[in-house]
Amino acid sequence: MLNFSKLLKIAEWKQAKENSVLIEESVEINNLIFITEGVAKVESNGKTTAYLGDGNFAGEMSFISRKLTTAKVTALTPVEYLSWERTDLDELMRKSKEIEEGLKTIFNLDLIKKLSQMAVKKEN
């Protein structure tokens, strides 16, 4: 619980209006997004590839890899989210291996959830 409070302390609560772009495609991002409420659409090369909602990260793969984003993320409804600046999160992870490992686990679980949803979508 203490580590969670450390993560919240460096996060910024934000809101996006419907149709607002949260992440552009093919850009470098310096913040990590965690959606707490609302729905966002993920598009790659102009095609919808996924939908994100409560409890999903956005831009985490580009954030982790430090490479350009591969998709555009747009709010379909008003979206509330937490945002972490790279420098703040990097500093916190340097100070706490437990937080670093915890975030890696969360990213892996989020990725598994997204891949499962994509597989179900392809089956239908």
Rounded Cα–Cα distance for residues 65 and 75 (Å)? 24
In the three-class reduction of DSSP (H, G, I as helix; E, B as strand; rest coil), residue 65 is classed as helix
Q: In what order do the strands lie in the sheet with 40-44?
A: 21-23, 72-75, 40-44, 47-52
Give the model's pLDDT for residue 5. 87
Give the model's pLDDT for residue 124. 59
Tell me the domain boundaries of the chain: 2-123
Q: In what order do the strands lie in the sheet with 79-85?
A: 12-16, 79-85, 31-37, 57-58
Rounded Cα–Cα distance for residues 58 and 4 (Å)? 19
- 18-69 per-position pLDDT tens digit: 999 999 999 999 999 999 999 999 999 999 988 999 999 999 889 888 999 9
Give the model's pLDDT for residue 122. 64
pLDDT mean over 2-27:
93
Any idea which architecture 2-123 has in CATH?
Sandwich (2.60)
Mean pLDDT of the chain: 90
DSSP states along 17-60: -TT-EEE-TT----EEEEEEES-EEEEETTEEEEEE-TT-EESH
pTM of the model: 0.86
Above pLDDT 70, what percent of the chain?
A: 92
